[in-house]
Structure 1
Amino acid sequence: MTDLGQRVDAFGRPVPEPGPPQAPQSLLVARWLWIGSVLIGGVQSFIQLLDRSRLIEELRALDPNMGQMELDAAANSMIMFAFLLKALVLMVYLMLTRRMLEGRNWSRVVLTVFGGFGVFNALITLLGVAVFGIALINEITPVTITRVDVVFTALVAVVEAAAIVFMYRPDGNRFIRAMGPRLRQGRVAR
């Protein structure tokens, strides 16, 4: 016996309601690219923080009156803060990409803005290094840039740009459009 309003096939058997559409491969690839960009940035931070002597020198240049114990404590604090910040960024990207795979367009827009800022920042950095050189930038700014930083900056920018492209491929756009009415009607679990 079937309920009123339930769809049946030609033989009177109940037909299950179709489930929500599955996220296309391009959005799944975009998700992994976003996560990869954060992890690559984490590796960059880890490499920078391995050079503890450079970190101590930068702290000493900021405040020459600091003693060795204060410098060590400040360096430890900077390292811990950097890792906590990367963990927080990873959690935010995981949440945003999960929402994207649910078909929520706002998360795609937020990721695009984050990625756009990242790519823009990388282009400015790479342009500055190309025009002025690393040595001059290190002299005139308080930020120390190394060749490793430039390589990682370019790599993260390429990964973020690829993630943006994958998010807006035609199959991803169709999926987001198809999920819009379902989300507005509340037929998709959060």
Structure 2
Amino acid sequence: MARPLIPAPAPKLINVSRWLWIASAGVGMARFVAQLFDRETLVAEARRQNPALGQDQIDSGVNGGILFGLLIATVILVAYTRLANAMARGRNWARIVLTVLGAASVAFGLFRLVAFGSGTAAALGVAMRPADLAVTVVTTVLDATAIVLMYRVSAHFRTRVVVDSDFLRS
């Protein structure tokens, strides 16, 4: 009787990388959701962009925007989780996609930090709250670390070894 094939376990660094990707997406989603629930700011921004709209129209637009934002945030969190799990199973394509997304996130995070530190953001009228700065630092560090860990164990992606325990005993 043939036994099912058991996938080789992911190395520890790959598992850590997987959880760093998921944590980074979770932190980013939490901050985004917190911004979505700052209704006063959203209403003020909608009123500033469209002063001719009535309050009912603004409320409707803000409510729709919040719902759409929650949907997008959930899709992104699920996508990152699925990519991280595929990467942990040794799928090189998932590692490449995560590398591209992570590199973009790190570059954007560094850009935000430099813009904040140099005063460029304030000169352009972009306000960066302390919470935004903290989330930027945390997600940039998480993404950079996850990328490095994925490439420390490159052999995991070259050979997706599948082990059949009965075959090894014979």
Instruction: Give the TM-score normalised by structure 2.
Output: 0.85
Counterpart for residue 99 of structure 1: 86
For residues 102-121 of structure 1, the aligned pairs below 5 Å read 102-121=89-108
Percent identity between matched residues is: 35
Letter in 1 for 2:26: L
Q: CA RMSD in A?
A: 2.2
Q: Determine the structure 2 residue equivalent to 1:185.
A: none
Equivalence for 2:16: 29
Query: Which structure 1 residue ranges, 4+ long, deviate > 3 Å from structure 2?
Result: 16-20
Query: In the alignment, does 2:164 pair up with 1:164?
Result: no
Q: What's the CA shift for 1:125?
A: 0.9
Measure the CA separation in 2 of the matches of 1:25 and 1:40. 22
Structure 2 counterpart of 1:148, from 128, 131, 151: 131
Q: CA offsets, 1:125-167, max 9 Å, x none?
A: 11111112553232xxxx6532221221111111111111111
Within 1, Cα distance between the matches of 2:128 and 2:41?
12
Distance of 1:159 and 1:71 partners within structure 2: 37
Distance between the aligned counterparts of 1:146 and 1:136, measured in 2? 15
How many equivalent residue pairs? 162
User: Which of 69, 74, 88 is the aligned partner of 2:56?
Assistant: 69
Residue equivalent to 2:155: 174
- 2:43 is aligned, of 53, 56, 59, to 56
Structure 1: where are the runs of 5+ without partners?
A: 4-15, 183-190
TM-score by length of 1: 0.77
Report the Cα distance in structure 2 between the residues aligned to 1:76 and 1:59, rounded to whole angstroms.
11
1:9 alignment partner in structure 2: none
SS at match of 1:35: helix
Partner of residue 186, structure 1:
none
Q: CA contact under 8 A between 2:90 and 2:157: conserved in structure 1?
A: yes
Write the letter of the residue equivalent to 1:145: M
Mind listing any 5+ residue stretches in structure 2 that lack a counterpart? 163-170
